[in-house]
Structure 1
Amino acid sequence: MSLSLTRLWAILRKEFIQMRRDRVTFAMMLGVPIMQLLLFGYAINSDPRHMPTALIAPVQDQFSRSLVAALENSGYYRITHPDAQPSEAERLIAQGKVSFVVTVPADFGQRLLRGERAQVLVEADGSDPTATSGAIAALGGIAESAFRRDLAVPEAAGPEIVVHRRYNPEGITHYNIVPGLLGVILQMTMVMMTAMALTREIERGTMENLLAMPATAAEIMLGKIAPFLGVGAVQVLVILGAAWALFDVPFMGSPALLLAGVMVFVLALVLLGYLISTVARTQMQAMQIAIFVFLPSILLSGFMFPFRGMPGWAQMLGELLPVTHLLRLVRGIMLKGAGLPDVLAQFGALSVMVMVLGALALLRFRRTLD
């Protein structure tokens, strides 16, 4: 049979019409590359600047002011707490509100004027070595140039900056990556499995039998997501066991507190997957939407790239992602030994997401039934 342009054109028209009707797939074909282009082009930065820093300086003299000016002029440091107390600075770095704590001794200026080797202590949050490496590397030039104009004796020795990497002194990468994988793996599996479970019932026609039962929308939703909470719990135990047995990741905090936070996160994920299933009509659509949600969760959460290296608008988007708050919670508890007061903000954010996603899922499910 010879090639017929008429038949070929008819098949092409049919495919374009079908593609136009499948709006979710068409949106994914355009949305995914546009999202990747914008995120990688504007939001991703592996060398963060203007990192929040707390300053402990009992004597606010010209030397401490020169040090502050040199740190800020380098572009890497932003003194957000200029008169912090030691206990306050400890709390700030444990909660992740500052990346550095700079301690200037009370006799710092006197030692410089006497030509002695004065020391400045810079404590860095080493739970994410990539985020602080550039700022630490810049300290050498800062130490050499900060006090040249202030010293009365030109040949006086310059200050020595002592760097203390907190929580991960050796800068081991997998101490940061492996705890983060807990959130990434759960995000990928929980959302996709939950989203496809309900759409599979719609495709097979078994949803009609479920809706014929004398059950409310909330009861159906709870019945659908409960098994996936159990699956998530098993995955959590497997990942944490591998982190301890294979990668020797330190576990400094409370296991009960960590498991409680992770299960709130899993609940948010299965509700997100349930919400996706009320939008998608096929399993393919559910998978496409889950992938579309998964990409920004990887790029904007601080898992692959430093969170503080992103512009303000990208950080605002990242704050809306459950993975962002789980990464802070897991790294804080496992690496820093954080207690409930230190991670209370992350618990609160995840709890709010659970309530919002649950309400939206119920609302969408009722509309779908109507």
Structure 2
Amino acid sequence: MSAAGDHHTEREMPFGFWRRSYAMLVKEFIQLRRDRVSFAMIVMVPVMQLLLFGYAINTTPRHLPTAVLVQEDSDLARSILKALENTSYFRFTQQVHDIDTFDNLLKSGDVLFGIEIPRGFERGVRRGDRPALLVAADATDPVAAGSALSALGPIVQTALAHDLFIGSSPDPPFEIRVHARFNPAASSRLNIVPGLVGTILTMTMLIFTALSVTREIERGTMENLLSMPITPVEVMIGKILPYVLVGFIQAALIIGIGALLFGVPIDGSMTLLALLSTLFITTNLAVGYTFSTIVQNQLQAMQMSTMFFLPSILLSGFMFPFSGMPVWAQYVGECLPLTHYIRIVRAIMLKGATLQNLQYDTLVLLVLMLVAMVIAVTRFRRTLD
């Protein structure tokens, strides 16, 4: 009897193994179907990467915003500007009449290039004096400026040859004098290190606060918190403020290492940089806190933070030129805090920009912070109810 039972058990073992495995397989699919956030991440992350890299990323940007300082209005000046525009690298958005406005536009990042046609330019060309056409470039992003500058001379000379009556003279009728401002050596580290400040802060601040409320729920301490006489705003402030200090320490470490080891200059005000960094840190903490009120567990909080961080790093201008993206991608990028902070930190450190130069980006960061805080408090109040 025992031998027959053992034989029957051995025969049932393979079938039992597959039944149990099948039961676990069904259980996992049911759990995945119920976890809609995780299922959405499985679908959305590869789709988002494909769309962003396929449509939004362009390492050879065109139609770059350019200011013109025309100190003489002549046929030759208009021909040069038209030829520059025909290259498709330059898009004239501003026409200024003094050097200070010209410099402020470059410092604020409103334009990436400035074309200056000095007085007496056409007369100098006709006399054979080879006057200089001045081109100022914002070289904080060497990739964005490099392709346009490399194509500047030959294309303009070819386009204007029939207008200038060059004839057989081997010398060009005028000189193109390029001034690569803020990063004349086109060093990539001067572009990357300031951007890393915002990128690292975005990643860590989102994760820290996105896990804050979900951790309380999973540990069972949220019920004790809800029973206390405390308002949603007080809870949010209490959870956000410690991480503001953490963000300061991170920013100080990155900036300090960048300055000491990589020679990144700090030409602007450290006080202004600290104040605007506080605004950026608070904005990211508010966004992360909003995520923590939406999700149900820490895994979902990490997944949602990843979904926010991925477009931030790709559409902010950190890895790829912002001006090279299509218009729809630039609109999305303008809604991301990292886009504006990267402009701010690069402008302060490399250009010596002031608050007057950074009004737009500062205002957008402030609006994003307030919107995120209102959403976070509103959703947490629902949790309290």
Interval of TM-score (by shorter of Structure 1 and Structure 2):
over 0.9
CA distance in 2 between partners of 1:11 and 1:219 (Å): 44
Q: CA deviation at 1:154?
A: 2.1
**One-letter amino acid matched to 2:14:** S
Confirm whether residue 229 of structure 1 aligns to residue 229 of structure 2: no
Q: Which has the higher helix share?
A: 2
Do the aligned partners of 2:84 and 2:156 also contact (CA within 8 Å) in 1? no
The count of corresponding residues between Structure 1 and Structure 2 is 370
What does the per-residue CA deviation read over 1:307-338, in whole Å, with 9 as the maximum and x for residues that have no partner?
Answer: 00000110000000000010011011110000
**One-letter amino acid matched to 2:215:** R
Q: CA deviation at 1:246?
A: 1.2
Q: Of 121, 143, 156, which residue of structure 2 is paired with 1:108?
A: 121
Match of 1:38 in 2: 51
Q: CA deviation at 1:153?
A: 5.3
For residue 162 of structure 2, give the secondary structure of its aligned residue in structure 1: coil
**Structure (1 or 2) with the larger CA radius of gyration:** 2
What does the per-residue CA deviation read over 1:240-266, in whole Å, with 9 as the maximum and x for residues that have no partner?
Answer: 111111111011000000000000000
What are the residue-to-residue correspondences of 1:133-282 with 2, within 5 Å?
Answer: 133-152=146-165, 154-155=167-168, 157-158=171-172, 159-282=174-297
Do the aligned partners of 2:209 and 2:240 also contact (CA within 8 Å) in 1? yes
Do the aligned partners of 1:252 and 1:335 also contact (CA within 8 Å) in 2? yes
**One-letter amino acid matched to 1:228:** Y
For residue 65 of structure 2, give the secondary structure of its aligned residue in structure 1: strand
For residue 149 of structure 1, give the secondary structure of its aligned residue in structure 2: helix
Do the aligned partners of 1:113 and 1:153 also contact (CA within 8 Å) in 2? no
Identity of aligned residues (%): 49
CA distance in 2 between partners of 1:361 and 1:11 (Å): 37
List alignment gaps of at least 5 residues for structure 2. 1-12
Q: Of 274, 281, 303, which residue of structure 2 is paired with 1:288?
A: 303
**One-letter amino acid matched to 1:2:** P
What does the per-residue CA deviation read over 1:263-314, in whole Å, with 9 as the maximum and x for residues that have no partner?
Answer: 0000011111111111111111111111110000000000000000000110
CA distance in 2 between partners of 1:153 and 1:243 (Å): 49
CA distance in 2 between partners of 1:174 and 1:353 (Å): 29
Q: CA deviation at 1:151?
A: 2.1
CA distance in 1 between partners of 2:234 and 2:111 (Å): 44
What does the per-residue CA deviation read over 1:45-64, in whole Å, with 9 as the maximum and x for residues that have no partner?
Answer: 01110111111122221211
Q: CA deviation at 1:83?
A: 4.8
CA distance in 1 between partners of 2:48 and 2:382 (Å): 29
Match of 2:315 in 1: 300
For residue 160 of structure 2, give the secondary structure of its aligned residue in structure 1: coil
What does the per-residue CA deviation read over 1:161-201, in whole Å, with 9 as the maximum and x for residues that have no partner?
Answer: 11100011111110110000000000010110111122111
Confirm whether residue 365 of structure 1 aligns to residue 380 of structure 2: yes
Do the aligned partners of 1:54 and 1:84 also contact (CA within 8 Å) in 2? no
Do the aligned partners of 2:96 and 2:102 also contact (CA within 8 Å) in 1? no
Q: CA deviation at 1:15?
A: 1.2
For residue 116 of structure 1, give the secondary structure of its aligned residue in structure 2: coil
CA distance in 1 between partners of 2:142 and 2:323 (Å): 13
CA distance in 1 between partners of 2:238 and 2:160 (Å): 67
CA distance in 2 between partners of 1:146 and 1:95 (Å): 31
Match of 1:78 in 2: 91
CA distance in 2 between partners of 1:333 and 1:344 (Å): 13
TM-score, structure 1 as length reference: 0.97
Match of 2:136 in 1: 123
Do the aligned partners of 1:253 and 1:333 also contact (CA within 8 Å) in 2? yes
Match of 1:95 in 2: 108
**One-letter amino acid matched to 2:238:** G
For residue 318 of structure 2, give the secondary structure of its aligned residue in structure 1: coil
CA distance in 1 between partners of 2:122 and 2:168 (Å): 15
CA distance in 2 between partners of 1:106 and 1:143 (Å): 20
Match of 1:29 in 2: 42
Do the aligned partners of 2:233 and 2:377 also contact (CA within 8 Å) in 1? yes
Q: CA RMSD in A?
A: 1.3
**One-letter amino acid matched to 1:335:** L
Match of 2:14 in 1: 2
